[in-house]
Amino acid sequence: MTPLRSFDDSLLLFPHSRTDQSIAPVFSLARRGDLLFFVNHSDHVLDYVSSEASGALATGDGDVTFADGGRYHYPDVRPREAVLLDEYDMVLDSDFYIALEVHLASAALGQWSFSTTNKGGTGSIVLLWEDGFVSPRIKATHTESAS
């Protein structure tokens, strides 16, 4: 069975796409084979992390097939912790466009929602950098926490 939570240091590695190499991620996605993890790089415990995945496949005939993916919810995600968000089948999912939504909240960081759609599923990517930058391949919304 796949572990749903992990403190595996290899999941803390991330694709560094910034010119300034000193800027660190706050949150990232780490894909290891068929498994996709959310990684909390922040120094804060997150109240929760939840995700939803769905997919669609269009054929040359104009037919569209939809698939409902997994839903995960994790309370109290600790710093440097990774949680499983989705599992892919490289053969079955390779032609599907898979949409992933990730939602999280903490008193210190507020509420965040991230979404992305990719053929064959999402790969490793930084969702949010410490300077507030979000990858152009990610749609993000943020609400400040009420004090």
Domain boundary assignment for the chain: 24-143
Question: Which residues lie across from 75 on neighbouring strands?
Answer: 48
Query: What's the confidence (pLDDT) of residue 8?
Result: 81
CATH class of the 24-143 domain in this structure: mainly beta
Between strands 110-119 and 64-77, the pairing is unpaired
> Each residue's pLDDT tens digit in the chain (147 positions)?
355 878 887 788 777 777 788 899 999 999 888 888 999 999 999 999 998 876 655 666 665 655 666 688 999 999 999 999 877 656 555 556 678 889 999 999 999 999 988 776 677 889 999 999 998 889 999 998 755
CB neighbours of residue 101 within 10 Å: 17
Residues 104, 45 contacting (CB under 8 angstroms): no
Residue listed under structure tokens 């499983």 = 84
Q: What gap in Å lies between CA 130 and CA 41, rounded to an integer?
A: 10
